[in-house]
Amino acid sequence: MTIDLPSGTRPAGVDAAVEAARRVIDALVRSGDMTDADMASVTGRLNAVADDLEATAPPLRDRLVDMWRGDGMTRHDPVTGSENPIAPPVAYGAVDSSTIEGTVTLGLPYQGPPSSVHGGVSALLLDHTLGVANGWAGESGVTAELTLRYHHLTPLFEPLTVTARQTSVDGRKIRTTGEIAAGGRTCVSAEGLFIAKHPPRPR
C-alpha cells in the first residue's frame, strides 16, 4: 500500500507563480526561434516581472534562513520544490518503511539526447530520491558516492517512475539504491553511499 508523503504544496501565492514560471520555461524551449510571437515584447514583459520581484526580494541571508526554518521540508530544492521553477516537480509516496516511489513526466527543458532525458538530470533525480528515501527510513546524511548505470535512454513525454530504497546502515555509512523506469523497463539505476552528517543550517 502506498502512503502519500506530505507535499507541502500551497494552492496559491508563490506556488501558483512558480507553476506559471514552469509554463513559461517550457513554452520558451518549445518555441525557440520558430515562433511568430513578438519575442521583443515577451522579453520586456519577463524583465518587468523580474524587476518587480527583485525590488521586493528579501536580503539573501534572510531568505536562506527562511528556507531552512522548521522541520526540514525543503520547498526550494530543484527536484520536488514547489517554490523552485526548475523542479519538475516530483511527488513521492511511501512504499514501505525504507522505500519511496515517485512519478514524473519530463518535457523539453530536460532534454539531452533527442526526445530523451539528459543524463545529468537523471543523476539529479536519483541523488535526491535516494536522499529522500534515507530520510524516510530514519537515517540520512550527505552524498559521498553516487554510481549510476545508464541501461536505456530515458524518454521525455512519458511517465517515469523513480524509486529508492535504503539497504543498509553501518555506523555513519548509509547505503541506498534506486532506479528510474519507464513502461516497466529500467532506464537508469543508482547505488549511493551517504555519510550521516548534516551541514549547519543558516541562522
Contact 110, 117 (CB under 8 A): yes
Instruction: Return mean pLDDT, the chain.
Output: 92
> How is domain 1-202 classified at the CATH fold level?
Thiol Ester Dehydrase; Chain A (3.10.129)
What does the pLDDT look like over 82-93, one tens digit per residue?
999 999 999 999
Contact 137, 98 (CB under 8 A): yes
Segment 107-131 shows an average pLDDT of: 98
Q: What is the per-residue pLDDT for 12? A: 62
pLDDT at 138 over 50: yes
CB burial of 153-189 (b: ≥16 within 10 Å; e: otherwise) equals: bbbbeeebbbbbbbeebeeeebbbbbbbbbeeeebbb
Residues 6 or more apart whose CB falls under 8 angstroms from that of 193 comprise 143, 144, 145, 146, 173, 174, 175
Residue ranges of domains in the chain: 1-202
Q: What is the per-residue pLDDT for 4? A: 38
Q: What is the per-residue pLDDT for 97? A: 94
Q: What is the per-residue pLDDT for 179? A: 98
Amino acid symbol at 145: E
Task: Provide the pLDDT confidence category of residue 121 given band limits of 50, 70 and 90.
Answer: very high
Segment 149-155 shows an average pLDDT of: 98
How far apart (Å, rounded) are the C-alpha atoms in residues 10 and 82? 8
Instruction: Please tell me whether the overall predicted TM-score, pTM, comes out greater than 0.85 for this model.
Output: yes
Give start and end residues of each alpha helix (H) in 119-187.
119-137
Q: If we measure between CA atoms, which residue out of 160, 39, 50, 58 comes closest to residue 101? A: 160
Q: What is the per-residue pLDDT for 73? A: 63
% of the chain residues with pLDDT over 70: 93
What does the pLDDT look like over 48-105, one tens digit per residue?
999 999 999 999 999 999 888 876 567 899 999 999 999 999 999 999 999 999 999 9
What does the pLDDT look like over 10-48, one tens digit per residue?
446 999 999 999 999 999 999 999 999 999 999 999 999
Which cell numbers hold the place of 3? Answer: 502512503
Segment 165-183 shows an average pLDDT of: 98
Q: What is the per-residue pLDDT for 69? A: 85
Q: What is the per-residue pLDDT for 50? A: 98
CA 73 to chain centre: 13
